[in-house]
């Protein structure tokens, strides 16, 4: 008899613990999830995009990386490239300055760090100047 009472209590608690939340879930699903939310998309909308390129000793590859970014099919007036050089010693800074001078049609900003503090610091530094609605951190140029 004692075992039957425990079984009934266990079944009751199981129904209470699982049954009512499931009933409530299906009630809300029926009430809200079948509703049209009247959300419209605007196919003409294009957000402003900030592309952040952190660099450190990438003189051999940075020009190609920037050329790849510049060749994207996106309105030039809605994109900006922010290059953060973390105290490179191989001429990366000069290559980037030359690339910016050759591509005046592209909004490009250069941040020069005197001391290398790492990729996270460089990205956070660039985010302070970014004006885009969407931020994208371009992968490092090197394969390291």
Q: Under CATH, what is the fold of the domain 49-137?
A: Spore Coat Polysaccharide Biosynthesis Protein SpsA; Chain A (3.90.550)
Q: What is the pLDDT of residue 84?
A: 94
* pLDDT tens across the length of the chain (144 residues): 577 888 889 888 988 888 888 888 888 888 877 777 677 888 888 999 999 999 999 999 999 999 999 999 999 999 999 999 999 999 999 999 999 999 999 999 999 999 999 888 999 999 999 999 998 887 555 444
Q: Tell which residue, 80, 69, 74, 87, has the closest CA to residue 141.
A: 69
CA angle, 61 then 91 then 97, to 5°: 80
Task: Give the residue carrying structure tokens 């996106």.
Answer: 74
Residue 81 CA to residue 108 CA, distance in Å, equals: 5
For 70-91, b where at least 16 C-beta lie within 10 A, e where not — what string?
beeeeeeeebbbbbbbbebeee
Q: Is the entire prediction scored with pTM above 0.85?
A: no
Cα dihedral 69, 140, 134, 79, rounded to 10, equals -30
Residue 71 CA to residue 65 CA, distance in Å, equals: 10
Q: What is the pLDDT of residue 5?
A: 85
> Count of residues for the chain?
144
Give the start-to-end residue ranges of the domains of the chain.
1-39, 49-137
Q: Tell which residue, 50, 34, 23, 28, has the closest CA to residue 107.
A: 50
Three-state DSSP class for residue 67: helix
């Amino acid at each position: 008899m004692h075992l039957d009472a425990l079984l009934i209590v266990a079944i009751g608690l199981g129904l209470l613990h699982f049954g009512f939340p499931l009933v409530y879930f299906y009630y809300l699903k029926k009430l809200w999830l079948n509703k049209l939310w009247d959300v419209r998309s605007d196919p003409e909308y294009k957000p402003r995009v900030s592309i952040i390129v952190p660099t450190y000793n990438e003189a051999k590859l940075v020009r190609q990386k920037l050329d790849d970014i510049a060749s994207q099919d996106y309105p030039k007036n809605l994109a900006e490239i922010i290059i953060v050089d973390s105290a490179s010693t191989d001429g990366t800074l000069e290559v980037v300055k030359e690339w910016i001078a050759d591509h005046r049609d592209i909004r490009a900003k250069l941040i020069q760090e005197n001391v290398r503090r790492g990729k996270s610091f460089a990205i956070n530094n660039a985010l302070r100047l970014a004006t885009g609605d969407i931020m994208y951190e371009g992968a490092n140029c090197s394969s390291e």
